[in-house]
Chain A
Amino acid sequence: EAGVAQSPRYKIIEKRQSVAFWCNPISGHATLYWYQQILGQGPKLLIQFQNNGVVDDSQLPKDRFSAERLKGVDSTLKIQPAKLEDSAVYLCASSPQGLAAYNEQFFGPGTRLTVL
């Protein structure tokens, strides 16, 4: 079974530029998560989708971050404009619907963003 795919793996941009990340979850997984992992910290949830609807975006900086999951499959996360403090690894994860007790999430390799 193919895992969660993310691209690009690395991205370097100047502050105030825009950037987009792409995620393809495991086939059939209804739930998709985007996390931000700043160096030396644990991942922090930015947004959670259930199919193509947003379940939780309470920690998404909506003035500059946006995300969508069209057709309930692939997802994109965009930052516009980027700030220095956005430098982090952006992780995408997915989980199947219905595993309420365990709720295992499967993570992609991440996109490392450096904002100069």
Chain B
Amino acid sequence: GNSVTQMEGPVTLSEEAFLTINCTYTATGYPSLFWYVQYPGEGLQLLLKATKADDKGSNKGFEATYRKETTSFHLEKGSVQVSDSAVYFCALSDPRTSGTYKYIFGTGTRLKVLA
């Protein structure tokens, strides 16, 4: 079945450091890929998305490229801020295979940015 694997956290960085959070997926079809962010005490918010191979999603300085050849969707940011401290979830949706639009989530990666 479909699955998502994320790097384990927590990830601790200094402000202005470069961020990479790895995400790889297994899917039998052609999934859409998402990154969601969960700030303390809040619900999940969509950060960015990509629906086909080589698409690049971007938002708030974060980027991720849909790489079909490596089945990856790594999240990157050139210079993190303290306010980026949160839990980041990679997810896929594969309606052509599953018949529904449900998400399959990774386990989440906690990011802590130090001033």
Q: Which residues of A are at the interface with B, using a C-beta cutoff of 8 A?
A: 3-4, 31, 33, 40-45, 48, 55-56, 91, 93, 95, 100-110
Contacts and interface: CB of A to CB of B under 8 A. Distances in A.
B105 A31 contact: no
Interface stretch (B13-21, B40-48, B71-79): B40-48
B49 A104 contact: yes
Contacts of A91: 43-44
Given A42-B4, A102-B51, A107 B106 contact: no
B32 A107 contact: no
A43 B44 contact: yes
Interface size band for B: 20 to 34
Contacts, number: 61
B93 interface: yes
Contact of B43 (A48, A100, A101, A109): A109
Interface of B: 4, 32, 34, 36, 41-46, 49, 51, 89, 91, 93, 95, 98-103, 105-108
Nearest to B110: A40
Contacts of B51: 101-102
A107 B49 CA distance: 16
A42 B43 contact: no
A43 B100 contact: no
A64 to B, nearest CB: 21
A102 B43 contact: no
A109 B42 contact: yes
Given A102-B32, A102-B49, A103-B95, A43 B43 contact: no
B79 to A, nearest CB: 26
Contacts of B107: 40-42
A4 B49 CA distance: 20
